[in-house]
Amino acid sequence: MYASVKKLTGWYLGVGMVALFIGGAMGPLQKLEHVGINVYPALQNVGLNSYYQGLTIHGVLNALVWTTFFIVGFLTFATVNSLERDLTHPKLNWASFYIMVIGLVMAAVPVLLNTATVLFTFYPPLQASPFYYMGLTLVVVGSWVGGWGMFLTYYAWRKENPGVQTPFIALASNITMAMWQIATLGIATEMLWLIIPWSLGWVDGIDPQLARTFFWFTGHPIVYFWLLPAYVSWYGMVPKQVGGKLFSEPLARLVFWLFLLLSIPVGLHHQYLDPSVPAGWKIVHAVLTYSLFIPSLLTAFNIIASMEIGGRARGGTGLLGWIRALPWDNPSFTAQNLAMILFAFGGIGGLTNASYNLNLVIHNTMWIPGHFHLTVGSGVTLTFFGIAYWLVPKLANKPLFSNKVALWQAWTWFAGMLLMSNGLHILGLNFGSPRRTMLGVAPYASSDWQPLLIEAALGGIILGVSGLLFYTNMLGTVFSKKTLTEEIEMPVAEPLDPHPAPAWLDTWRPWVVATVVLILVSYGPLLVNLISNLNLTSPGFNALW
């Protein structure tokens, strides 16, 4: 069924996985450098010039490319299969894919040529090749076009099914893409107004403070753009995979609407320590960031309750016995459940980052990569691996190469990430070790850091091995000579309570209006202030690497 979307999704996932392979390979090299094993000189022959070029590759390919390609592919697939309706404009969705690929190539070439060693945050006035910025912009534009293809399909479905409630997976997928369209207006403005004309030499100066503010307008909701597709799976699919039901479907819908509302007006919690943002606005965003924990706490209860239904249906008894009864031999479930556990640690640690005052202790320290490797590096990425364990066999029409290798992959990721993130968190908290830094040769690095750096490096190596296990399985599946004996269906969880959710949870207008209003209130005055005091004085620096 829906052959066109199968092929399209396969291509999105394939490109994303190639990106993650290259970007991921940089990770263990960084951790080795921190313990004094510097492999970068040896890699100059293959064109890797520095630690920081490798770090740029790591951030761009993992955080921007792998995520965006996987997400657009997965959500398009999920929408079509949830609505049981093919795309209305498949050419539009293919255009999205091609635009994203063109953007990826445009951005990747300067990165590989070492003319864009500015990391994935590209804070001006570090100035990369203009192609880097134009390429990243095209990746975002391509993802918008993919969203439009989804919206048109959803709109057609609503016309064809008047009065029918939108299936949960389709609704959640479309809310995620809608949030992304609004959230990326920040980065689009930064690129099109400030950075691209400046990098092309059309204007002399840039305002770094305003550029940062636009960047973080997108930079926090981007983490929800990464996370919400994982939530689509945790709510909409995992309960089915464990033989349970979705405990409270209406609250699951509410959670997605709350993420639309609250993901964006919180970006200033990344800028608590910025010089020219008034403290009052930082506090407003601090409070809003705290409110953003509510939908995540709702999620924790709802998903655990849904899995408990499954565990008990499978014969689990007692307070915790249902956990043992879960299908731990199913790698798709195991990977996602371990991802949830790691994500819970990441979320709890995130309370620190969000806190207006505690953030001072850990801002830009190793705590931060420790945090986001638990969230995007585990909660998201390990979930996507779990999804790939059923989705790639379905798309390739071939059985998974090895269940056993997949289970090893999930558990090694879990172990490696625990070690690495534990080391990084403590380095940041106790010693203030800076992030994004070649610590192996930093003159101020203390010998007290060594045991923790070794722990993190050990974790990094285990993660590298885990990554290889994943790719072995993917290649083994795609190039297998076997074919599936029976078709794999997308798992779709049924709600425990068959009554449909109330109509206000299936209505777009009030939620979108409230989202826009909240953004205007929380960002409007600050942006007016910064723009009316525009400081376009910084020339570009392109020879610092």
Partner 1 sequence: MIHVDPRERNFIIGTTILLLIFGTAVLVSSFAFGFQVPAPVERLDPKLVATPGQSPWGDPVEERVRELAPNKYEVYILAQAWNFQPREIRVPVGSTVTFMVTSKDVQHGFRLDGTNVNMMVLPGEVAKLTATFDEAGTYNFVCHEYCGVGHHTMYGQLIVEP
Restricted to residues 27-66, the positions that interact with partner 1 (CB under 8 A) are 50, 52, 55
Whose Cβ is closer to partner 1: residue 13's or residue 261's?
A: 261
Instruction: Name the catalytic one among 168, 217, 224, 343.
Output: 224
Residues 6+ apart with CB under 8 A from 104: 15, 19, 65, 135, 139
Q: Is 224 a catalytic residue?
A: yes
> How many alpha carbons lie under 13 Å from residue 444 in its C-beta half-sphere?
5
Binders of partner 1 among 248-307, rule CB under 8 A?
A: 248, 250-251, 254, 271-279, 282-283, 286-287, 290-291, 293-294, 297-298, 301-302, 305
Whose Cβ is closer to partner 1: residue 163's or residue 443's?
A: 443
Of 71-79, 163-171, 176-184, 431-439: span binding partner 1 (CB under 8 A): 431-439
Whose Cβ is closer to partner 1: residue 76's or residue 522's?
A: 522
Q: Is 372 a catalytic residue?
A: yes
Binders of partner 1 among 354-383, rule CB under 8 A?
A: 355-358, 360-361, 363-365
Q: Is 373 a catalytic residue?
A: yes
Residues 6+ apart with CB under 8 A from 342: 374, 378, 379, 382, 414, 417, 418, 421
Give how many residues touch partner 1 by CB under 8 A. Answer: 73
Q: Is 371 a catalytic residue?
A: yes
Binders of partner 1 among 70-109, rule CB under 8 A?
A: none
Determine the Cα angle at 87 with ends 82 and 88, to 5°.
Answer: 130
Q: Assess 498 for contact with partner 1 (CB under 8 A).
A: no
Q: Assess 508 for contact with partner 1 (CB under 8 A).
A: no
Whose Cβ is closer to partner 1: residue 479's or residue 541's?
A: 541
Q: Assess 545 for contact with partner 1 (CB under 8 A).
A: yes
Amino acid at 530: L
Cis peptide, bond prior to residue 125, ω within 30 of zero:
yes
Instruction: Name the catalytic one among 372, 389, 401, 470.
Output: 372
Q: Assess 129 for contact with partner 1 (CB under 8 A).
A: no
Of 16-24, 122-130, 234-242, 369-377: span binding partner 1 (CB under 8 A): 122-130
- Letters for 180-209 (x = contact with partner 1 by CB under 8 A, - = none) are ---------------------------xxx
Whose Cβ is closer to partner 1: residue 2's or residue 293's?
A: 293
Closest CA to 5 of 63, 83, 61, 99: 83
Q: Assess 443 for contact with partner 1 (CB under 8 A).
A: yes
Least Å from the CB of residue 136 to partner 1: 17
Whose Cβ is closer to partner 1: residue 355's or residue 472's?
A: 355
**In angstroms, rounded to a whole number, what is the distance separating the alpha carbons of residues 88 and 396?**
23
Q: Is 324 a catalytic residue?
A: no
Are 445 and 433 in contact by the 8 Å Cβ rule? The answer is yes
Residue 395 is inside which H or E element, if any? helix 381-396
Least Å from the CB of residue 438 to partner 1: 4
Of 22-30, 77-85, 144-152, 440-448: span binding partner 1 (CB under 8 A): 440-448
**Collapsed DSSP state (helix, strand, coil) of residue 52:** helix
Closest CA to 142 of 304, 328, 281, 16: 16
Least Å from the CB of residue 357 to partner 1: 5
**Burial of 49 per CB tally in 10 Å (0-12, 13-18, 19+):** middle
**In angstroms, rounded to a whole number, what is the distance separating the alpha carbons of residues 214 and 267?**
9
Closest CA to 372 of 364, 451, 46: 364
Q: Which of 1, 497, 514, 524 binds partner 1 (CB under 8 A)?
A: 497
**Collapsed DSSP state (helix, strand, coil) of residue 188:** helix
Whose Cβ is closer to partner 1: residue 62's or residue 76's?
A: 62
Spacing of C-alpha 461 from chain mean position? 22
Question: Which region, left, alpha or beta, applies to residue 34 given φ > 0 means left and ψ of -120 to 50 means alpha?
Answer: alpha
Catalytic residues: 220, 224, 371-373, 435-436
